[in-house]
Structure 1
């Protein structure tokens, strides 16, 4: 297959990021993916170019800017994410905001207005229902949501656009394996365990199944096809987790 358009997936070493990188590669994009882990620890196909990039480092903004200028992607997916440690320090909290919010905003606000690029920012329905264990993570994602709107304003009148893909409970490999293990222990079906998990996780969920990763890929393709009309758009693939008023 001839690869004609370039895509860059920031945070593409595993989970939904890796799925997007692999799916875009299969659909004919020339894909570069990044992650904190070395290439030897990443299961991406060799046709996907991989760059090790840690947004928590002091040189992260410079490194990300350099990569963008080298790749010049038609599609940029920002999926890099950091989570709190069990007993996080203030430095840990600051690193979470650097990775999830501040470095991407700093870099993209300078890069996007002069680029011919659709940027899809992956966000989380955690912004709707923070608790004592997810509060800092949710706050970083809420800040990212606000700053993504600011990025859209940066892009107004240019060839670039930025949109948010807001995701709910994903059918990533680790979550599926965990639910299947519980089902075996309880001698019931994975479907029943998944349904019970979702009802406890958020009473606003209106589904009994996890969101398939292919639905995320199709949503990204939809946003790219919209072009400039996607600027500022919020695409919710969140199983109704925001409740009925949003």
Structure 2
């Protein structure tokens, strides 16, 4: 049978199409777990990477899972061999957040945050693209944050690591010119992660108002430059990753923004 359910005629053979392969970092929970799960549901052969043990994730069994701490300098040495052949799609989603008291961070801890948020995505992409057969296309989607446009003392370390990621992503896009690959940025505003949604719902219940009203107040106070009044849902991010990957080489150097206008109207 073909995809339309029609029987093949005499002498015809069904064409075997190998499933495309995807590699997604930060798949222990949150957006990364949703991305890996939805790609697997779409028929991709997915390898996910996360810091937590597999038993602490909700990933479906069809997702191959690698456990690694990207803040460990030794982790990167082993990853290319564990991943194997360069995937058709690479999504860099892993993230490390500093503690509230950033003044207490040691230099090693600062380096660990930059390693997860910017240095490992850069180095690993170079390694995987170098191993890619020239005829095989590879799409790389780098998840970044609107925090690159503004920072205060508490968020400065995180914002700086993401700003470094943005610059390195731009350099990777230049590297990919005429290499049958594309490196693009998915720039995100505040996400509707379960923990944040639960906190806002609890506040709404205590105040006797709707969750939507509390969410609007939260966004206006924490992100006064946003033009959206709701958190960005995971499925919108999944659709954006699919869109970028489907663009092929046209997506090289692209920035797809789901940040509610937080970068300003002229940027």
- Whether TM exceeds 0.5 here: the answer is yes
Residues 31-55 of structure 1: CA deviation (Å, up to 9, x unaligned): 1111011111111111111110211
The equivalent of 1:153 in structure 2 is 174
Judge conservation of contact 1:113–1:159 (CA < 8 Å) in 2. Answer: no
The equivalent of 2:93 in structure 1 is 79
Judge conservation of contact 1:3–1:29 (CA < 8 Å) in 2. Answer: no
The equivalent of 1:54 in structure 2 is 69
Which 10-residue stretch deviates more, 49-58 or 109-118? 109-118
The equivalent of 2:226 in structure 1 is 205
The equivalent of 1:13 in structure 2 is 28
The equivalent of 1:175 in structure 2 is 196
Q: Secondary structure at the match of 1:32?
A: strand
1:102 positional shift: 1.2
Cα distance in 2 between the residues matched to 1:3 and 1:46: 19
In structure 1, the gaps of 5 or more residues are: none
> Are positions 1:119 and 2:140 aligned together?
yes
Correspondence for 1:109 among 126, 129, 133: 126
Which has the larger helix fraction? 1
State TM-score, norm by structure 1.
0.95
> Are positions 1:220 and 2:234 aligned together?
no
Judge conservation of contact 2:86–2:131 (CA < 8 Å) in 1. Answer: no
> Are positions 1:164 and 2:179 aligned together?
no
In structure 2, the gaps of 5 or more residues are: 1-16
Which 10-residue stretch deviates more, 100-109 or 145-154? 100-109
Which 10-residue stretch deviates more, 207-216 or 98-107? 98-107
Moved over 6 A (4+): none
The equivalent of 1:65 in structure 2 is 80
1:136 positional shift: 0.3
> Are positions 1:44 and 2:44 aligned together?
no
Q: Secondary structure at the match of 1:121?
A: strand
Number of aligned pairs? 244
CA radius of gyration, larger in: 2
